[in-house]
């Protein structure tokens, strides 16, 4: 057995030594810990910001409250023009579409004609 | 809101995440997690006793900073004996080593609220503090004579026979004496590597040097120790038959 092996044996024994803590030292360390521990008890979780509701989510999606106000105003204006039909609007409609009035429009022709041809 | 950047992660143990100033178990422990999320405190005493030893030093330190009354006791039980043994071997003076241990722990308590999780091991940080304190202490006083048996760390005999116990005590005494003859940095590196069991990268952090420098210091330290102890092999029972007694 060589000298280095002896040394490693000594290291192994030393590394497994259990160092007994004097009671007084442990008490002093714990007293220090108690004195230095933050006084404010901050263990209670702080509630995060409230989850936004569907209206806030919609507002954000549309670009904010300003955009939502604009959209609302446009919708009301459209409803007013459609229901009340003010005379300037009727004049504009007549100018664009002419005075031709279509009394009826058959968008789904009857199949009777086809059956008759057969 | 849970901030992942401040998560205390410990794959081998219990993990917590910070929620504001509070800690919440990151996974598992549904009852504790529910308590935390309900605004009730999570304390060490709430945890299953058989899991306390799996809680990392870092988690304990954060719990201490959050006001947990049990965290300091657990941390002290884990770390203070190691620092005491380390300081005793470096200083060859038990009373000074106790003072160093107390002061190192004080610095740990003071630093706890500012601990940056995931950046260093608590034990490595504490070894570094102790190393610096020991260096300051040795600079402040003239080197004392070799350690006495009373100053050596107290050893549990482990049921050895009286003769084997005496031989082992002699060997440990010889090792302590030989270590005391090494230059400070060599002694620190050898003790950290071969007695405290730190890895070379960890020692590099503790001693604030490179890994190659650590390897060089430990190699030179071991050569010096071998030379110092070479003349005492027979006296220490390495050439005789008493070695195997146990």
pLDDT exceeds 50 at position A46: no
pLDDT for the residue B33: 65
Contact B226 A4 (CB under 8 A): yes
Looking at A44-48, B113-117, B143-147, B184-188, which range is the least confident one? A44-48
Instruction: Please compute the mean of the pLDDT values over residues A105-114 and round it to a whole number.
Output: 65
Residues B106, A28: Cα–Cα separation, whole Å: 10
Fold of B162-244: Arc Repressor Mutant, subunit A (1.10.10)
Tens of pLDDT, residues B66-94:
888 788 999 999 999 999 999 999 988 89
* Residue B14's pLDDT band (cuts 50, 70, 90): very low
* Per-residue pLDDT at B237 exceeds 60: yes
* pLDDT beyond 80 at A59: no
A114 vs A116: CA distance, rounded Å: 5
Phi, psi of B25 (to 5 degrees): -55, 130
Q: Where are the domains of chain B?
A: 4-54, 162-244
User: Domain segments of chain A: what residues?
Assistant: 53-97
pLDDT band at A86 (very low <50, low <70, confident <90, very high): confident
pLDDT at A19 over 70: yes
Q: What HEC string does B10-43 produce?
A: CCCCCCEEEECCEEEECCCCHHHHHHHHCCCCCC
Cross-strand bridge partners of residue B18: B23
Instruction: Give residue A61's pLDDT.
Output: 79
Q: How many CA atoms lie within 13 A of A48 on its CB side?
A: 8
Cα B224 versus chain centre, distance: 25
Provide the percentage of residues in chain B whose pLDDT is more than 90.
43
Dihedral sign (CA B194, B200, B203, B209): positive
Q: Residue A72 has what pLDDT? A: 85
Flag whether residue A28 sits within 8 Å of chain B, measured between CB atoms: yes
Q: Are strands B16-19 and B22-25 parallel, antiparallel or unpaired?
A: antiparallel
Cα–Cα dist A60/B178, whole Å: 74
**pLDDT value of residue B104:** 97
Does B195 contact A13 at a Cβ distance shorter than 8 Å? no
- Which of B68, B85, B196 to mutate to test binding with chain A, by most A CBs within 10 Å of its CB? B85
Q: Is the pLDDT of residue B208 over 80?
A: yes
A6 touches chain B (CB under 8 A): yes
- Chains A, B: CB contacts within 8 A come to 138
Q: Which residues of B touch A6 (CB under 8 A)?
A: 229, 233, 236, 238
Mean pLDDT over each residue of chain B, to the nearest integer: 78
Instruction: Identify the band that residue B149 occupies on the pLDDT scale cut at 50, 70 and 90.
Output: very low
- Model ipTM? 0.72
Residue B154 clears pLDDT 60, i.e. is over it: no
Preferred mutation among B38, B79, B83, B98 to probe A, highest tally of A CBs within 10 A: B98
Rounded average pLDDT over B11-40 = 58
B105-114, pLDDT tens digit by residue? 999 999 999 8
């Amino acid at each position: 057995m060589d000298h280095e092996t002896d040394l490693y044996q000594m290291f192994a024994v030393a590394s497994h030594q259990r160092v007994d803590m004097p009671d007084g030292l442990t008490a002093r360390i714990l007293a220090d810990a108690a004195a230095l521990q933050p006084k404010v008890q901050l263990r209670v979780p702080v509630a995060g910001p409230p989850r936004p509701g569907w209206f806030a989510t919609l507002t954000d999606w549309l670009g904010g409250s300003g955009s939502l106000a604009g959209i609302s105003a446009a919708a009301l204006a459209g409803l007013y023009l459609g229901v009340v039909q003010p005379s300037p609007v009727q004049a504009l409609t007549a100018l664009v579409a002419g005075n031709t009035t279509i009394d009826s429009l058959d968008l789904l022709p009857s199949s009777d004609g086809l059956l008759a041809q057969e | 809101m849970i901030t992942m950047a401040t998560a205390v992660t410990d794959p081998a143990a219990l993990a917590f995440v910070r929620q504001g100033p509070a800690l919440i178990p990151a996974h598992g422990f549904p009852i504790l997690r529910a308590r935390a999320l309900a605004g009730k405190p999570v304390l060490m005493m709430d945890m299953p006793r058989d899991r306390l030893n799996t809680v990392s030093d870092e988690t304990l330190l954060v719990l201490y900073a959050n006001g947990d009354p049990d965290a300091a006791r657990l941390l002290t039980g884990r770390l203070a004996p190691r620092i005491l043994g380390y300081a005793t071997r470096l200083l060859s003076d038990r009373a000074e080593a106790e003072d160093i241990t107390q002061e190192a722990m004080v610095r740990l308590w003071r630093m706890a609220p500012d601990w940056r999780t995931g950046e260093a091991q608590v034990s490595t940080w504490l070894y570094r503090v102790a190393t610096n304190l020991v260096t300051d202490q040795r600079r402040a006083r003239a080197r004392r004579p070799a350690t006495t048996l009373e100053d050596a760390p107290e050893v549990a005999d482990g049921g050895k026979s009286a003769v084997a116990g005496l031989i082992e005590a002699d060997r440990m005494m010889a090792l302590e004496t030989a270590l005391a003859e090494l230059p400070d940095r060599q002694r620190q590196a050898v003790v950290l590597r071969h007695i405290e069991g730190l890895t070379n990268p960890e020692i590099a952090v503790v001693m604030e040097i490179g890994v190659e420098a650590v390897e060089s210091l430990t190699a030179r330290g071991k050569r010096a120790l071998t030379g110092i102890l070479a003349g005492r092999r027979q006296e220490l029972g390495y050439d005789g038959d008493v070695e195997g007694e146990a």
